[in-house]
Structure 1
Amino acid sequence: MTSTEMSSTEMSSTSSFDHTYDVVVVGTGAAGFATALAATDEGLSVLMVESTAKWGGNTAMSGGGMWMPNNPLMRRDGVGDSRQEALAYLEATVGEEGRSTSRERKEAFVDGIDDFVETVEKYGVELVRAPDYADYYPELPGGKIGRGLEVKPFDLKRIGDWWKCCQAPAGLPVKTDDVWLLGRSWVTVSGATRGAQLVGRALSGVVRGKKLAGIGAGFASAMLDVVVQRNGAELWLESPLEDLVIEDDRVVGVRLTRGGRPVTVRATRGVMLAAGGFDHNKEMRRKHHGIDGSPSGAPGNLGAPIEIAARAGAALELMDDAWWGASIAPVGDGESPAFIVSERSFPYSIIVDSRGDRFANESESYVDLGHHMLEHDKDGTYWMISDRRHARRYLRTYAMDPRKNKEMVEAGIMVKADSIDELARKLKIDPARLGSTVERFNGFARSGVDGDFGRGNSAYDRYYGDPTVRPNPCLGPLEKGPFTAFKVVIGDLGTKGGVVTDTEGRALREDGSVIEGLYSAGNNSASVMGRTYPGPGSTIGPAVVFGMRAGRDMAKAQVAVPSAG
């Protein structure tokens, strides 16, 4: 029997392993890179493994923001925040949703922010604030504006051929605050100015011989540059995790498949599971969510590491939840849905159900809207309806390609009509009912107060609104045809259920005991954010903090001594 054919409890000597490292990190997103950075910063050897042919995971595809209250950049800028306010806000928004959201873990998140920021800056990663981006519930106790951090646009040429196999769809020098301003670049001076700045930023990079990328692509690339190219961690692609190796109730390594062959790797200090959630696993989605799901994340998020951890005794939480949001329906099975954020807040638009009724504040936080869609009718059809001003005034990311628009029309995802009555008939909605909904909404738009759902009341809502529309930047009447409807589905940015961990990212059993040698972070773990989304970057912020805490803890951990063979 070869070493890879043995069960995990039968692995009993160093001769059973093909390779040995101090730390093995499964996954190449934010949590994985943060773990590897902390470990290499402590002088440990690290192997990172990725199941697919592309590294970066959801992080590389994301907006790349990190929600980090009371961070060093805020203090340098003289922006008021404190540990107490951050924790008060977390209690007001997250509350208690199980062990993953304990007071101790909230404190560990807030207290770990400085270490992450100072460590990446030590290695030359430049962070900047998104000063105008509000917390998602800024009116609650402890709420603020400007807690988000991101990486300054990074030169992709620094990582060479690694960029060719990055999960990021593109590399553009975009920053978080560009997005909301560019969306209204045709109607506001600030938007037009930001558009010119973006073009200038791109041209400046070209003149200097650089290929600059921001948001998720820039963040993931900057982390790879430090962790792999400078600190010497190894990264294996197309090396999926098959199982954990356990000796004397301690995780001491992993079994992988690499190049079509089994490989067993010892981890003397610990194994980090940071391989994302199970967003693309329809069987798991049906079991835990009751729907197939319409994910916008990396296709390699199939949930195997979560199931492997559970087999090893790890407790799981929040498996029924995700980082929900509304998305424009995909054209075909092979297409990804278009997650919509700013477009929902622009005036002259509403979202209705299959009966033609509004059911929520269209401008609210995407996770809240997703929850409301699930609660209202998780199997139903939804439509985002707008008049011609929505199309002419604002940048709509899902409707920029004429060829794609034609495909959406042919698939019935995009429907146009000259009147609301005609549109209702095409959508198979009672014209009188949809007409009544639109008439009622138009009255709210003219008064500036959404009497049904409070759209535009929050500073978060207004962040993506149009300040030239008064009295409410999120409300504009639907009265100028042609009118357009886009089919909306319940989408997500990833699942948020997984392994229950302690303050240092160590995996816990149901009885609360630690599974020695096993760690988890990011969407592979149950989120400290519980069932909500406190602010921009509430996925990546905790991912990097708990990844770094785990790497530090591994450096202090006792070295796993091989059992006698």
Structure 2
Amino acid sequence: MSEAEIYDVIVVGSGTAGASTALRAAELGLSVLIIEKAHKYGGTSATSGGVMWLPNHQLTPSDDSREKTMEYLNHLLRSEVQRDRLDVYVDQAPKMAHFLKSVGVPLMPAAWPDYFADAPSARGDRSVICDTFDGRKLGDHFLHMREQYTRFKVFNRYAMDVVEFFSISTRAPGWIKTFLKMAWRYWSDLGTRMLGKRDRRFTQGGALMGHVYSKVFDRGVEVRLETRLDELIVRGEEVTGVKVSHFGRPYEIIARHGVVLCAGGFEWNQELRDRYWPVPGQTRNSSTPEDANRGEALIAGLNAGAATEHTEAGWWIPTMHMPMPKASNFEEIHQAAFDVGRPHSVCVNRNGDRFVDEACSYDEFGEAMVADHQKTGANNPCWLVFDAQFRAKFTAGGFMPNLISPDWMIPKDYWDHYIFKADSVEALAHKVHLPVDKLKTVVANMNQYALSGDDPEFGRGSNDYDRMFGDANVSPNPCLGAINKAPYYAVPINLGDLGTKGGLKANADGCVVNSEDQPIGNLYAAGNNAGSPFGNLYPGAGGTIGPAMTFGYVAANHIAQRAGKLAKAAEDSEAASGSATAPASITA
């Protein structure tokens, strides 16, 4: 038997949690290996919007503060949380942001309202994004990063940043010029076209991962692909390494100071969904990479004696199915996060009843689906109903606006299976088996609300978050437009997810704990395979990635302290504390 490899730190999973852990640990002088079971690195994060919720980040002058952040969160928390862990997140998130900036990751606040815009101390500047990244700067690693989904590309080719996405999806003034510029940039890049179809311009989650991984690779960290975690090696009271397999070949890797589990949640494991979630739904409704996050890290942690928390909760998002281009026997998932709240539309359950402010955050939309299904049994899926005005301007999941993808271009076998169409509301109700009178009443009510600008049922369009994703050309309420122009359409909307909010229970240092809240030696967790510091709450855009990167950073600091490498961390902390933009010192 060959001698086992040895590293200071082994990171399981290559998403933002793993990348943050590896970058910080390597910066502190620790040897690091990232193992990734997929054939591409970047995890779910590389396919995401790439937004981090980092309150009081102070990347630009701001009057945000720790106190305002806690006022906002305390008003909203809906489940028991570990208060010390939440405190550490609020204190360390700004430090993590300044660390990234100090090593050259270009961060900038986004004009994105907190998801509960009416709550005390809600703001519009706590979400942070990265500028676009030239993927070719990754060299040989360029083609091995996980690629964005179709939904973040036009015609499955042209990568869109956040501004371009909203310009095109809402047909804002100048959107045609925006699209033509994207197309020219793509086709004029002859060198990359010789390599393949992939756009060298990494945006959103790809941009964040590109910038961070360029720093990870600069520090000599290896990302070992097609390497699956099979088991944690436990000796006495602590974890000493991992048992892995590579195309079926098993071997062991030893960790001197820590194994950090950053391998995503369990949303692609139907057995675990059925065990933990109140409305399990199907794995195929998830919008994370297919069959990727199957809970291997959670299972390995449980087998090592770990406790869990918040496993009943998911990061919800409405989704819908469509056949894959040029492969009609296979389906792909499309998010409908913002589509469900556009004007000229309404969402109803299978009883024909509205159940939510459709323009709310996608996680709240999912929470409403769960609650309604528990009450009525008539949700998941629900129905998005819209008219020709909506169809002309907006996306409906994977269906592009009529101007880009007119009805005649939609394959005939999609009709009455993935999208439904009729000349009247009554005929549409018959097609999708909704109560005719109820649907007619709902549509008539929405038309009245569009005239007055007021939704007395659910307050759609009554706050900054709702209005951000409406149509500025529609008044008096940009989220309410009459549903009165034939033909009429409907698409089924599923309870999808961005992963799990719950998993292994970790303490304020990122250490995985057992049922008695005692740390399991050398074992850490960050990201969606750990419980969220917010419990069952999604406070703002980037509420997944912000804590994932922060607790990866926290775990790396704690490992470095235990390994006697804390001098660099303390030096960074002291430098930051001398700045008006820095929070308190590192928690060890």
Under a length normalisation based on structure 2, what TM-score does the superposition of the two structures give? 0.86
Q: Given the alignment, which residue of 518, 526, 533 partners 1:513?
A: 518
Q: CA deviation at 1:335?
A: 2.4
Which residue does 2:421 correspond to in 1?
416
In the alignment, does 2:146 pair up with 1:167?
Answer: yes
| Aligned-partner Cα distance in 1 for 2:47–2:73 | 26
In the alignment, does 2:295 pair up with 1:303?
Answer: yes
- The 3-state SS of whatever aligns with 1:455 is coil
Which residue does 1:141 correspond to in 2?
120
Q: Call closer, same or farther: CA 1:297–1:531 in 2, change over 3 Å.
A: same
Q: Given the alignment, which residue of 85, 88, 93 partners 2:71?
A: 88
**1:319 maps to amino acid:** T
In the alignment, does 2:13 pair up with 1:33?
Answer: no
| Aligned-partner Cα distance in 1 for 2:160–2:420 | 31
Matches within 5 A, 1:142-541: 142-169=121-148, 174-185=160-171, 188-189=172-173, 211-227=200-216, 229-289=217-277, 290-293=280-283, 294-298=285-289, 299-331=291-323, 334-377=330-373, 380=378, 381-396=381-396, 398-400=398-400, 405-406=410-411, 409-410=414-415, 412-541=417-546
Which residue does 1:7 correspond to in 2?
none
Matches within 5 A, 1:46-61: 46-61=32-47
| Aligned-partner Cα distance in 1 for 2:396–2:416 | 19
- The 3-state SS of whatever aligns with 2:331 is coil
Q: CA deviation at 1:345?
A: 2.1
Q: Call closer, same or farther: CA 1:504–1:408 in 2, change over 3 Å.
A: farther
Q: CA deviation at 1:376?
A: 1.0
Which residue does 1:10 correspond to in 2?
none
| Aligned-partner Cα distance in 1 for 2:122–2:69 | 8
Which residue does 1:127 correspond to in 2?
107
Q: What is the number of residues matched between the two proteins?
A: 535
Contact 2:318 2:493 in 1 (8 A): yes
Q: CA deviation at 1:555?
A: 0.7
Gaps of 5+ in 2: 194-198, 565-588
- The 3-state SS of whatever aligns with 1:335 is strand
Contact 1:295 1:336 in 2 (8 A): no
| Residues 193-235 of structure 1 deviation map (CA, whole Å, 9 limit, x = unaligned) | 76577668769988999932110111112222111x2011111
Q: CA deviation at 1:450?
A: 0.6
Q: Given the alignment, which residue of 37, 50, 60 partners 1:64?
A: 50
Q: Call closer, same or farther: CA 1:502–1:17 in 2, change over 3 Å.
A: farther
Q: CA deviation at 1:139?
A: 1.6
Q: CA deviation at 1:333?
A: 8.4
- RMSD of aligned residue pairs (Cα, Å): 2.5
- The 3-state SS of whatever aligns with 2:260 is strand
| Aligned-partner Cα distance in 1 for 2:253–2:559 | 17
Contact 1:47 1:233 in 2 (8 A): yes
| Aligned-partner Cα distance in 2 for 1:407–1:230 | 51
| Aligned-partner Cα distance in 2 for 1:557–1:333 | 53
**2:297 maps to amino acid:** P
Q: CA deviation at 1:72?
A: 2.7
| Aligned-partner Cα distance in 2 for 1:178–1:64 | 15
Contact 2:343 2:482 in 1 (8 A): yes
| Aligned-partner Cα distance in 1 for 2:442–2:301 | 49
Q: CA deviation at 1:120?
A: 1.8
Q: CA deviation at 1:174?
A: 3.2
Q: Call closer, same or farther: CA 1:55–1:136 in 2, change over 3 Å.
A: same
**1:121 maps to amino acid:** K
**2:307 maps to amino acid:** A
Q: CA deviation at 1:17?
A: 5.3
| Aligned-partner Cα distance in 1 for 2:43–2:175 | 31
Q: CA deviation at 1:408?
A: 6.6
Q: CA deviation at 1:27?
A: 0.2
Q: Call closer, same or farther: CA 1:334–1:508 in 2, change over 3 Å.
A: farther
Which residue does 2:580 correspond to in 1?
none
Q: CA deviation at 1:94?
A: 2.4
Under a length normalisation based on structure 1, what TM-score does the superposition of the two structures give? 0.89
* Percentage of identical aligned residues: 32
Q: CA deviation at 1:536?
A: 0.5
Q: Call closer, same or farther: CA 1:392–1:116 in 2, change over 3 Å.
A: same
| Aligned-partner Cα distance in 2 for 1:333–1:245 | 42
**1:221 maps to amino acid:** G
